[in-house]
């Protein structure tokens, strides 16, 4: 009998208890012994929960119990979760989490602490919810240099953008509907301003760089709160979708780059057709080429399923399995390129009959006209450095631009 504790009995924490109960036979078969939730630590009581008898309020009970070898941290945030994670790891208990804020902020320290105490810190559920991405990226693609990652990693924003398009809603209307349906929080800032995506990109980029830490604060981030229905209809008119993408690029012999921003994505890309709360992460390796991982990026049971998968891994490979290569803080001044120096493809949009004006302004770049009618004109500009865009754009009357993924 393997005994674990869950700390934080919210959506994901209660999902973890449910998945362990629901699939106990499969889990026992996989593990070779039964898995039991011994404690659930929360400040609240849950008298109506089927797990009410597991609830405890005293952290010492959990961390002092040597029978408990694995702790599931589903508190969220980077305060109490941070303190409790340190306590658990210091006591030699492996910690499994879905907490992207904590991993992206304190991952370096927590992985070192796990290493020092011969236990593990596992976080498959922190990116892509239930979608396997951390382990495949680290282990299955271990023989690849990761050249590119482009992911829809936030379900809330993808739901809002999908609904704006399919129902013709404004951003505000779509946000309200998302809140009413439980897909956006009352305070939606972390999702709609791209902070959640930024944290997940920090985690993915660090793994892609074999542990060289990319701090979330260094990632230039634009959310979707300025996206209009016009923008979305413009993308559709071009045979594209408008998606919030978290992007990591690392061409051979060049510095890596990361940013989060809305992109106009060609429908030739499978990822352009990923709608609603679904997530998808495109990964390009120098040997593998392109691959994509798709599924439910959030939600109670999908996320819990990834957490319990990590619990089983921690139980089977106790005190010896590094989930990912240990993170470290680089001695370089900057790990990633400054945003202004990132080279990218863009679409420039302008009032009708301005194709020549755009082509003149961006004359030194490869361009391709993709729209020229009575409503507007649009030209793809390839391989331009961010810092050049605004200056060149200013010579075109009424022009705006979007990131573009061919």
Q: Which residues are catalytic?
A: 200
Cβ closest to a second copy, residue 25 vs residue 390: 25
Q: Is residue 332 within the footprint of a second copy (CB under 8 A)? A: no
DSSP character at residue 327? P
For 25, the token pair is 């036979």
Near a second copy by CB under 8 A: residue from 236, 291, 343, 389: 291
Cβ closest to a second copy, residue 92 vs residue 136: 136
Helix ranges restricted to H, 47-168? 59-63, 80-90, 100-116, 134-135, 155-167
DSSP character at residue 328? B
Q: Is residue 273 within the footprint of a second copy (CB under 8 A)? A: yes
Q: Cβ of residue 301: shortest distance to a second copy, in angstroms? A: 4
> Which residues from 105-134 bind a second copy, rule CB under 8 A?
124, 130-132
Cβ closest to a second copy, residue 86 vs residue 325: 325
DSSP character at residue 136? I
Q: Which among 65-73, 84-92, 136-144, 216-224 is the span making contact with a second copy, rule CB under 8 A?
A: 136-144
Q: Is residue 319 within the footprint of a second copy (CB under 8 A)? A: no
Q: Is residue 366 within the footprint of a second copy (CB under 8 A)? A: no
CA angle, residues 356, 226, 196, in degrees to nearest 5: 125
Near a second copy by CB under 8 A: residue from 22, 59, 108, 190: 22
DSSP character at residue 351? S
Cβ closest to a second copy, residue 329 vs residue 385: 329
Cβ closest to a second copy, residue 12 vs residue 192: 12
Please, how many CA atoms are within 13 Å of residue 14, restricted to the half-sphere of its CB?
14
Alpha-carbon span 319 to 384, nearest angstrom: 48
Q: Is residue 145 within the footprint of a second copy (CB under 8 A)? A: yes
Residues 306, 125 contacting (CB under 8 angstroms): yes
Q: Cβ of residue 118: shortest distance to a second copy, in angstroms? A: 15
Residues 308, 27 contacting (CB under 8 angstroms): yes
Residue 191 gets the label, from left (phi > 0), alpha (psi -120 to 50) or beta, of alpha
Residues 212, 206 contacting (CB under 8 angstroms): yes
Q: Cα separations (Å) of 313 from 23, 31, 94, 142, 316? A: 16, 9, 10, 18, 5
Binding pattern for the stretch 200-239 against a second copy, x by CB under 8 A and - elsewhere: ----------x-----------------------------
Which spans of this chain sit near a second copy (rule: CB under 8 A)?
19-20, 22-23, 26-27, 29-30, 124, 130-132, 135-136, 139-145, 210, 270, 273-274, 285-296, 299, 301-302, 304-306, 308-309, 311-313, 317, 320-321, 325
């Amino acid at each position: 009998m393997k005994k674990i504790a869950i700390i934080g009995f919210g959506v994901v924490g209660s999902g973890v208890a449910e998945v362990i109960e629901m699939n106990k036979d499969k889990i026992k078969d996989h593990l070779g012994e039964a898995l039991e939730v011994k404690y659930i630590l929360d400040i609240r009581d849950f008298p109506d929960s089927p797990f009410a008898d597991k609830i405890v309020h005293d952290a010492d009970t959990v961390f002092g119990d040597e029978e408990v070898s694995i702790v599931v941290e589903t508190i969220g945030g980077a305060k109490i979760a941070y303190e409790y994670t340190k306590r658990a790891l210091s006591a030699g208990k492996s910690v499994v989490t879905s907490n992207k804020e904590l991993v992206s902020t304190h991952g370096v320290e927590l992985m070192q602490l796990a290493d020092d105490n011969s236990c593990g810190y596992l976080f498959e559920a922190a990116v892509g919810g239930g979608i396997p991405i951390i382990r495949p990226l680290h282990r299955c693609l271990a023989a690849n240099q990761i050249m590119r990652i482009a992911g829809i990693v936030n379900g809330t924003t993808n739901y809002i953008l999908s609904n704006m398009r399919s129902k013709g809603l404004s951003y505000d209307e779509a946000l309200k509907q998302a809140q009413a349906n439980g897909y956006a929080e009352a305070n939606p800032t972390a999702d709609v301003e791209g902070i959640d995506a930024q944290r997940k990109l920090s985690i993915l980029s660090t793994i892609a760089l074999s542990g060289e830490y990319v701090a979330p604060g260094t990632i230039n981030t634009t959310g979707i709160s300025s996206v209009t229905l016009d923008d979305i209809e413009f993308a559709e008119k071009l045979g594209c979708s408008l998606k919030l993408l978290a992007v990591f690029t690392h061409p051979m012999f060049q510095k890596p780059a990361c940013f989060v921003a809305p992109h106009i994505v060609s429908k030739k890309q499978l990822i352009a057709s990923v709608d609603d709360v679904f997530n998808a992460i495109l990964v390009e390796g120098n040997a593998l080429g392109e691959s994509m991982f798709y599924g439910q990026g959030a939600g109670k049971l999908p996320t819990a399923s990834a957490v319990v998968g990590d619990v089983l891994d921690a139980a089977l490979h106790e005190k010896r399995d590094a989930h990912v290569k240990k993170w470290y803080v680089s001695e370089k001044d900057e790990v990633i390129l400054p945003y202004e120096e990132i080279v990218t493809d863009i679409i420039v949009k302008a009032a009708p009959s301005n194709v020549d004006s755009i082509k003149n302004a961006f004359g030194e770049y490869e361009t391709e006209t993709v729209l020229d009618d009575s409503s507007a004109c649009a030209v793809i500009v390839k391989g331009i450095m961010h810092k050049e865009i605004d200056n060149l754009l200013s010579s075109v009357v009424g022009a705006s631009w979007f990131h573009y993924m061919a």
